[in-house]
Amino acid sequence: MRLDKQQRYARRRIMAVGALLSLAMIMLAARAVDLQWLQKDRLASLAEKQRYRQYTVAAPRGPILDRQGRILAESIEVPSIAAMADEVPEDDYPRLARALGVSTRALARRLRGRHGFVWLARQIAPVQAEKVMALGVPGVRRESEWRRYHPLGPETGHLIGFVGIDGNGLEGLEHAYDAQLKGTPGVRLVRRDARGRSLPGGSWIRKPVPGKALKLTLDASIQSVAYAALAEAVERQQAKSGSVIVMDPHTGDVLAMASWPGYNPNDFRRFKPGQWRNRAITDVFEPGSTMKPFTVAAALMSGRWRPDSRVFCEHGAMRVADYVIHDDHKEGWLDMAGLLARSSNIGAAKLALDLGPEPLYRLLYDVGFGQRTGIGLSGESPGILPPPERWGPVETANIAFGQGVAVTPLQLATAFSVLANGGHAVAPRILLDAGMVDRGQVIPRHVSDQIVRMLEYATSPEGTGSKAVPAGYRVAGKTGTAQKPDRHGRYGRKFMAVFAGMAPAEDPRIVIAVVVDEPKRSIYGGQVAAPVFRKIAENVLPYLGIPPRMQTMPAGFDVQSVAAVAPEAVQPAGSLIGLTLREIRAVAARRGLRVRIHGSGWVYRHKPSSLDGLKPGDMFEVWLDD
């Protein structure tokens, strides 16, 4: 009986074990089915990922070149150090930190408790990268990245801009044309061993495609000259800042665009964001007397005024409504050339008040004020040009001599290019393949030619811009000394010194606009900005193949040269009213007369009243009012 019990118990145990084995076999079979059929694709993919690794390979950005093909910005390959955080032994933290140049605590914060890929040091020197890799720390790897390099550094910093560590353009042309410059990343496949280390070789799934090159109208040599001349002037004048534009007036090509103080885009983090902006397109200022050529042009276009028309300048003070306009020099009667040469606010105001707001507004807008130039740079300001319905008598008078409006240096250079190229409004461009945009004839050719001759007179010894003339060349241009309004619109004791002009005057090849903000040693455009123009022109013109001539100015700007502006400019019946001392001496020498001179400046009376009856050797007297 006892034996039967034991046998039954044994059979039950055998059956239980058999059942368990059967269940195990069923489970193993089910698992095999699951692994071999149901999860086949997933497991194959996991195995593939363990044996192979795909990683993204950054593409280099396209280079930025000047018009001659010289490199202004390029991408260079540099090493970076990364790690698989969970694979780096903590015992190796101290020596790895020393090689990286960081504290052990800082390195531990980056690695401890993390998994997967971590950057340890990006875009470092090759020597340092070799030092790190020589340690042989598990999980630490060397990666290649692209770093942007700007050979001219601060000279082109404001224009070219810079690129962030992840390869995105953040300022300047690098930002404005980021989509074009940015390449397409590639994907590479490499095999790994059992410990996850990459094996030699590999294959491309998709090769990286470099970004497209950007070729500019800029000339690196002209840019360097402009930057150096501006920097010297700002430092010498202890000024706040400055900007220079050099343009080809016929094509709109910007040959140079410089601002000071500069910043180095190769190390942009050392500078404040306010120092990154391109002042030549973002900062606006009241143009002052550089607006007067366009006021005179509007007057000539109206048909109400001619080059020989004279305007009485009230001996230095004129009331308009409850506002008094002043001139630095007390002037009497001036013709149009004299108005620009002597830079009379009152003369310009009288022309504008005679014309009314609409004609002057239309011309100012047509030459480019009050609107963006469309050059394609981020942050460009449209300036300020109030609509004509908001111009009362005071506003009309002020705008005529450059107050109550605001322009950028680029707008000023663009407007003077209209005068230099025969009256066509040509849009400025910075990309060489952008195509020239001629917006049409906005000033008649004969009027623009007359203004250029008058502006050449303004750079004669009798004008305010004589310091802009390099030896052997003729220059046409205008100075400006503009008061800066404060935040309440009141004019204080801070000034902008400005000069804008063209050279050579007989066939302009370049237009240069110079703006110096808050100079300390002198406030006048003729003393501060004009010499910058001269320094740039005397270097750039020979570089462009335009040699100097022996005679810098035609015939000393005597009566015959004034007549060249328009034949009717010579005074009838032998009158000398409004001529300068130099012109008087030229007239006397040509006729063989003796002259007695009283005062200085411009003739307001002479005796006899006509020279027609005088013979060689006779005496005449002139009285000049300064």
Q: Is 75 helix (H, G, I), strand (E, B) or coil?
A: strand
List, in sequence order, every beta strand (DSSP E) within 96-139.
Answer: 117-121
Contact present, 179 and 167 (Cβ < 8 Å): no
DSSP 210: P
Per-position DSSP letters for 219-275, written without gaps between them: -HHHHHHHHHHHHHHHHHTT-SEEEEEEE-TTT-BEEEEEEES---GGGGGGS-GGG
Burial class (CB in 10 A: 0-12, 13-18, 19+), 399: buried
CA–CA gap between residue 593 and residue 595 (Å, rounded): 6
Contact present, 244 and 258 (Cβ < 8 Å): yes
DSSP 212: P
Which one is catalytic: 289, 343, 448, 466? 289
Per-position DSSP letters for 260-278, written without gaps between them: ES---GGGGGGS-GGGTS-
CA–CA gap between residue 313 and residue 334 (Å, rounded): 7
Burial class (CB in 10 A: 0-12, 13-18, 19+), 430: buried
CA–CA gap between residue 410 and residue 431 (Å, rounded): 15
Q: What residues pair up with 329 in beta bridges, in sequence order?
A: none
Phi/psi of residue 257, each to 5°? -145, 105
CA–CA gap between residue 209 and residue 65 (Å, rounded): 19
Contact present, 595 and 622 (Cβ < 8 Å): yes
* 278-293: burial string, b at 16+ Cβ within 10 Å, e else: bbbbbbbbbbbbbbbb
Burial class (CB in 10 A: 0-12, 13-18, 19+), 364: buried
CA–CA gap between residue 297 and residue 363 (Å, rounded): 8
Per-position DSSP letters for 559-623, written without gaps between them: HHHHHHH-GGGSPGGG--TT-BHHHHHHHHHHHT-EEEEESSSEEEEEESS-STT--TT-EEEEE
Burial class (CB in 10 A: 0-12, 13-18, 19+), 253: buried
* 90-124: burial string, b at 16+ Cβ within 10 Å, e else: eebbeebbebbeeeeeebeebbeeeeeebebbeeb
173, 188, 223, 433 from 72: Cα distances, Å: 11, 31, 11, 17
181, 265, 289, 439 from 410: Cα distances, Å: 25, 22, 17, 17
Per-position DSSP letters for 497-544, written without gaps between them: EEEEEEESTTS--EEEEEEEES-SS---HHHHTHHHHHHHHHHHHHHT
Cβ neighbours, 10 Å, residue 578: 20
600 belongs to the catalytic site: no
Question: What residues act catalytically?
Answer: 289
